Amino acid sequence: MSSSASSAASALPGAPFVAYGAGQLQVEQVTLSELAQQHGTPLFVYSQASILAALAAYQRGLAGRNALICYAMKANSSLAILRLLADAGCGFDIVSVGELERALAAGATPSKIIFSGIGKTRAEMRRALEVGIGCFNVESMAELDVLNEVAQASGRVAPISIRVNPNVDAKTHPYISTGLRGNKFGIGHEQALQAYRHAASLPGLRVQGIDCHIGSQITDSAPYLEAMDRILDLVTQIEAAGIRIHHIDFGGGLGIDYNGDTPPRADDLWHELLARVDARGFADRQIVIEPGRSLVGNAGVCVTEVLYLKPGEQKNFCIVDAAMNDLPRPALYEAFHRIVPLVEATGAATVYDVVGPVCESGDWLGRDRALNVQAGDRLAVLSAGAYCMSMASNYNTRPRAAEVLVDGAQSRVIRQRETVQDLWRTETP
């Protein structure tokens, strides 16, 4: 099966490069059962073609424009994925000095790095200034003052944009909504002009742009359009005050198909948004965006083995070797991931809750799933490329999974499976 075939009608919903071929589930041209046999489970497998296809949609939407796509690397920060995106021309949206060092290790261009986050430390600011990042997205008045002090002490000028909270409801899960008054992110829309005037008065800062991010897993274009109008209104006010805005950063947040979700295509969304930018007279500004989940989410699967089938009075349980430490999204957000067998099943199915071995009732991967499985069978948890491995932990002293990147008929390990000895290497008994 070619990668083009796997992206056709035979592909699974929400997984354009995952499909059954001769009854075996494949990522591009590689059979998942073979990877599981070679590398064990739990195992994360990513499709390179899927990542590049998702990026290409953004590139089409921004074609011909002065634009910078900064991958929000908190979604998945594996070095091989960062290198793939850097080689494809991406910059990076970071939220810690650890992410900064990861991006640099993967070959990122420092001037294409944007530093977001509400709690940057002085040490993080100094390091970012030292390597020459492109911009700091500043999220409070207090941060403006601290960054000014750090920049002056370092003999540098910090390029900044201010993240504005536009009070727009992204209509997503409350834990991943970031653009309402009650959220901790950004400076309120009503205080933004005052913040820009203050920033422009500080000798250690140079105003570069304006930033906005309203949430994650957004499946409707309306919140983007509303936020864009509010931000462009502010640009007009700020520039009337004599402060030039060189770039407009509209953040990320575009959703993916987890369970029949129908977000707009990235190219269609950006054609619509750019028409609004042009109509408002800002066609000459650089556009910056920070997609994360929408680039990598549907590129990944987590392969897990069925350990036991446990019938119960109220529930039947399919106990697998992947757990909430590997796939935290269901426990955190009650998130839905499709779960399918690696070998295409026939015959009667039983309804199970798919659960892991961790000692928490919140350790579940899927509820009420109809599956025809036996102990020793393997399952694939789909749409696991974002906020799974990057949020994985060692709870219950469980080593983190291995990761494999597939490119056509080739595959390579991009993260070795941890050993239990790795987990206490830095400890002293």
Active site positions, annotated: 359
Separation CA 391–CA 293 (nearest Å): 13
Rounded (10°) angle between helices 48-61 and 266-279: 20
Q: Where are the alpha helices (DSSP H) in 250-297?
A: 266-279, 293-296
d(CA 97, CA 117): 11
| Gyration radius of the chain's alpha carbons | 23
Residue spans of alpha helices (H) in 132-191: 141-154
Nearest to 379 by CA among 306, 319, 325, 289: 306
Q: Give the burial class of 123: count Cβ atoms within 10 A of its Cβ; 0-12 exposed, 13-18 middle, 19 or more buried.
A: exposed
* CB-based contact 196:205 (threshold 8 Å): no
CA distance 359 to 353: 15
CA 80 – CA 412 distance, rounded (Å): 10
Q: Longest C-alpha distance within the chain, in Å?
A: 72
By the 8 A CB rule, do 116 and 186 touch?
no
Task: Give how far the C-alpha of residue 92 lies from the chain's centroid of Cα atoms, to the nearest Å.
Answer: 11
Distance CA(374)–CA(384), nearest Å, equals 23
Chain centroid to Cα 162, Å, comes to 21
Give the span between the Cα atoms of 227 and 238, in whole angstroms: 16
334: nearest Cα among 364, 377, 379: 364
Look at residues 117, 127, 123 and name the one whose alpha carbon lies nearest to residue 72.
Answer: 117
Q: In whole angstroms, give the CA distance from residue 414 to residue 48.
A: 12
- Which pair of structure tokens corresponds to residue 264? 């707009």
Q: Which residue reads 């990057």 in tokens?
A: 390
* Nearest C-alpha neighbor of 146 from the set 131, 133, 132, 128: 128
